A = this chain, B = another copy of it.
Amino acid sequence: MASPLILVNLKAYREGIGRGAHRIAAAAESVADESGIVIGVAPAFPDIHPISHHFAVPVYAQHVDGIQPGAHTGHILAESLRLAGAVGTLINHSERRLTLADVEAGVSAARAAGLETVVCTNNVRTSAAAASFSPDYIAIEPPELIGSGVSVSKADPGIIEESVAAVRQVNPDVKVLTGAGISTGECVRIAIDLGTDGVLLASSVVKADDPVTVLRDLVSLL
């Protein structure tokens, strides 16, 4: 079985941009080194280039548009992310929802550019639907638990188990991440035990006084 993925979304938190992004990436690199667990970071677009050039961590974009090169101002082109050093991208995060057609086009464009794809979904049915696009990962984040401090793996393990089953039925090669409310090693352990392949989290690491300590705890039961 592959190593689980701990994916840290830096969002637009003040603690996660510029120097802050370096601080989180350094922590991720350090804890990944000592633990052997893969820890990725998803910084703001302008931080993708410096972070991927200064740290040996997998860097993900927070969003990609399902566009081809051309006249698109202010949009996110997959190839541009790849050239800047990203290895993957979130798609359809609950804070950046895309149309059904654009989720599909985004997955296709990212894959064509050599990026790993992590499609975020909100319930069992949308997880099954997203599996039709054969992304690398589907990250299930029940909207009511995002940023709540309440872990989905404790509050609603059923949605995780049902989503894993629904995704597997459509395409058994698609891996699943548990999102929403993950903050401790226990949450991560439960997420893995429920059949998922890692976690997507944000504030508990980004806003931590000491990200290294939080990351060490997150990987401690793996």
Residues of chain A touching chain B, judged by Cβ–Cβ distance below 8 Å, are 9, 11-14, 17-19, 42, 44-50, 61-63, 67, 69-77, 79-81, 83-84, 86, 90, 92-104, 121-123, 125-126, 128-130, 132-133, 146-147, 166, 170, 202-203
Q: How many copies does the complex hold?
A: 4
A9 touches B99 (CB 8 A): no
Please give, as numbers and ranges, the residues of chain B lying within 8 Å of A63 by CB-CB distance: 73-74
Please give, as numbers and ranges, the residues of chain B lying within 8 Å of A203 by CB-CB distance: 71
B99 touches A17 (CB 8 A): no
Chain B nearest CB from A12 CB (Å) reads 4
B126 touches A73 (CB 8 A): no
Please give, as numbers and ranges, the residues of chain B lying within 8 Å of A123 by CB-CB distance: 101, 104
Which of B72, B77, B93, B130 is in CB contact (< 8 Å) with A74? B93
B50 touches A74 (CB 8 A): no
A69 touches B99 (CB 8 A): no
